[in-house]
């Protein structure tokens, strides 16, 4: 049951809903992964990596809210529950314990790569059914690609 009505045909709404839900899951998990690594990073580049991780957390949280609110505006109930995120995320897990700074960088480069790949698929999928959602996903992807570039430069 949807309490919000919109102009999208049902088939388009299904495509857009799947794209938004997938984006939400990936963004929530990206924020959690970055914060987990942030708490446990150690090494000579601790401070710079630690601060960079907080920037990713802030971006992921901000974008997840925008994505979830777009879903709600279309009458789609966003699901950011832990079990949903754990079962559907594209990001690999974070090891237990301390994380060396070089490993932290690799974890973020890999996680961002996985999320960006899926975001680009969602951008393509939403092009015709809902350019407004596509625009949101383009903005999210641009921001994630900037973070990816900055972390990848750390490992060059």
pLDDT at 87: 95
Among 3-7, 18-22, 69-73, 79-83, which stretch is predicted with the lowest mean pLDDT? 3-7
Instruction: Quick: pLDDT tens for 29-65.
Output: 999 999 999 999 999 999 999 999 999 999 999 999 9
Q: What's the whole-number mean pLDDT along residues 148-152?
A: 97
Q: What's the whole-number mean pLDDT along residues 13-28?
A: 97
pLDDT of 4 > 90? The answer is no
Q: What's the whole-number mean pLDDT along residues 118-126?
A: 98
Question: Which segments of the chain does DSSP mark as H helices, in order?
Answer: 10-40, 46-73, 82-88, 101-126, 131-154
End-to-end Cα, the chain, rounded Å: 50
Predicted structure pTM score: 0.95
| β-bridge mates for residue 99, sequence order | 41
**Token duo for residue 106:** 């690799």
- The model's confidence at residue 154, banded by pLDDT at 50, 70 and 90, is confident
pLDDT at 1: 47
pLDDT of 2 > 80? The answer is no
3-state secondary structure of 130: coil
- What percentage of the chain reaches a pLDDT higher than 90? 91
């Amino acid at each position: 049951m949807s309490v919000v009505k919109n102009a999208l045909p049902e088939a388009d709404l299904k495509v857009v809903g799947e794209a938004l839900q997938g984006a939400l899951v990936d963004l929530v998990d990206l924020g959690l992964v970055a914060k987990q690594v942030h708490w446990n990073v150690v090494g000579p580049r601790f401070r710079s990596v630690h601060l960079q991780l907080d920037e990713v957390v802030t971006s992921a949280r901000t974008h997840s809210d925008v994505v979830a609110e777009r879903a709600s505006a279309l009458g789609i109930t966003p699901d950011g529950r832990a079990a949903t995120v754990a079962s559907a995320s594209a990001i690999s897990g974070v090891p237990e314990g301390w994380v060396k700074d070089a490993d932290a960088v690799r974890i973020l480069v890999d996680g961002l790569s996985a999320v960006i790949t899926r975001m680009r698929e969602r951008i393509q999928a939403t092009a015709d059914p809902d350019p407004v959602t596509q625009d949101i996903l383009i903005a999210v992807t641009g921001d994630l690609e900037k973070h990816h570039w900055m972390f990848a430069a750390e490992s060059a």
